[in-house]
Amino acid sequence: MKLAVLYSGGKDSTLALMKASKFHKIVCLISVMAENKESYMFHTPNINITKLQAEAMQLPLVQTVTKGEKEKELADLKKAIDEAKKNYKIEGIVTGAVRSTYQASRIQKICHELKLWCFNPLWLKDQVELLNEVVESKISAIIGGIFAEALPLEMLGKTVDKKIVKQLAEIAAEHHINPAGEGGEIETTVLDAPVFKKKVQILKVDKKTERHAGIYQITEAKLT
Amino acid sequence: MILIISTCKEKLSELEFVTPIERILGRCKTVHYSKLTQKEIDEADKIIISGTALADFDYLKHDWSWLTRFNKPIFGICAGMQAITKAFDIPLRKKETIGVHQVEVVKENKFCNGNFNAYFLHTLTGSDKFETLATSEGIPCLIKHPQKEIYGCIFHPEVMNENIIKSFGH
């Protein structure tokens, strides 16, 4: 089956892509850039990097910009998926959804309307297990955003490794938050993975923090 | 031993519809319906039939009539419930429900009580001849064979109602 991956550039969509590629052919990536920081579906600090990531994987990217307003952004997503269906003859979509029934059900509806299969290979996965699998799968992901009071801002820009996973798991257990960021606590950006033919090298970053939140915005990067 | 029967045409779908059930149950065995042997059926103490992707209807082409001759507990989830209805000649009708909806328990049962939210992902349903244990928006969503320990659940309890699967497993 020819599939497209709904790709945010983070650890989850990269791991989902790797799992799906064991069974099916990934023919393109779809990414949605939300202008609104409060987007219900698509807010990701380094979504601008997906173009480089797609190039690193030698996959075409269907990219769309949405204002990020509730429900309207779904119409924009549907348009992008439909474009991928027409241009790349995809028969289904892969997502990195783990727990969000809000996101999952909306993507399921779009796929149903467009007569496409919908695959969520990380669905209901234990979040610490997921983080460990990211590390074991040799996905090199940095923490690109922190949006939870309990998490130290020093984690910004750090690579998700065994030590960070342990730290995230401990903090999450103590403060009842999601260790893998399923509730939006953290956002990650993948710089390298076994499916990448080239690595993303960060050249310039803009680190911004405000009270208990922070973003590690990659403003300049190249493939090496 | 609990036997999970996968209804997934695509192996990739099993990560979404079978793996979560395995995780909830712990000790169990999984086999795809097309590879199921009489020995596996005989060795099972209980059977759970999984759900599958919304675009998958292959399991409806299969002969599920053996379920009517199985005299131990069976719990069918979504596509699994549809397989049960097929075995018992219950007609399926089109009814699309995707997302979180409220469930109302209408008959005392060992799995759940009161009102609760559940995750639905189906386009077909059917319940004639079976008892209704719970409804959602007036439509049966948890049903039971009038005599046997055979249950059908059109929503996905593995998503928001793990206790239902644990109750069946224990």
Residue A109 sits at the chain B interface (C-beta within 8 Å)? yes
Q: What is the DSSP letter of A137?
A: T
Q: Domain of residue A180: give its range.
A: 127-223
**3-class SS string, A37-85:** CCCCCCCCCCHHHHHHHHHHHCCCEEEEEECCCCCHHHHHHHHHHHHHH
A111/B54 Cβ within 8 A: yes
In Å, how far are A189, B28, B76, B121 from B142, measured between CA atoms? 42, 23, 10, 14
Q: Are A114 and A28 contacting, i.e. CB atoms less than 8 angstroms apart? A: no
User: Three-state SS for A103?
Assistant: helix
Gap between the Cα atoms of A115 and A218, Å rounded: 37
A62, two tokens? 């269907």
Tally of domains in chain A: 2
My answer on whether A29 and A72 are in the same domain is yes
Which residues in chain B have their CB less than 8 angstroms from residue A116's CB? 55
Q: Which helix (H) or strand (E) segment is A24 a member of?
A: none
Q: What is the distance in angstroms between the Cα of B110 and the nearest Cα belonging to chain A?
A: 24
Instruction: For residue B45, give the CATH number of its domain.
Output: 3.40.50.880
- For A84-133, what is each residue's pLDDT tens digit? 999 999 999 999 999 999 999 999 999 999 999 999 999 999 999 999 99
- For B79-129, what is each residue's pLDDT tens digit? 999 999 999 999 999 999 999 999 999 999 999 999 999 999 999 999 888
In Å, how far are A49, A55, A113, B15 from B52, measured between CA atoms? 34, 33, 17, 10
Considering only alpha carbons, which residue of chain A is nearest residue B118? Answer: A101
Of A88, A119, A150, the position where a domain reaches its end is A119
Interface of chain B against chain A, CB under 8 Å? 10-13, 15-16, 19-20, 23, 53-56, 96, 98-100, 119, 121, 123, 158-160
Chain A stretch 76-105, residues whose beta carbon is closer than 8 A to a beta carbon of chain B? 92, 101, 105
- For B23-80, what is each residue's pLDDT tens digit? 999 999 999 999 999 999 999 999 999 999 999 999 999 999 999 999 999 999 999 9
CA angle, residues B82, B86, B91, in degrees to nearest 5: 90
B159/A105 Cβ within 8 A: no
A142, two tokens? 């940095």
pLDDT at residue A41, rounded to an integer: 62
Of A70, A100, A119, the position where a domain reaches its end is A119
Distance of CA B154 to the CA centre of its chain: 7
| pTM summary value | 0.96
My answer on whether A105 and A147 are in the same domain is no
* Mean pLDDT, rounded, of chain A: 94
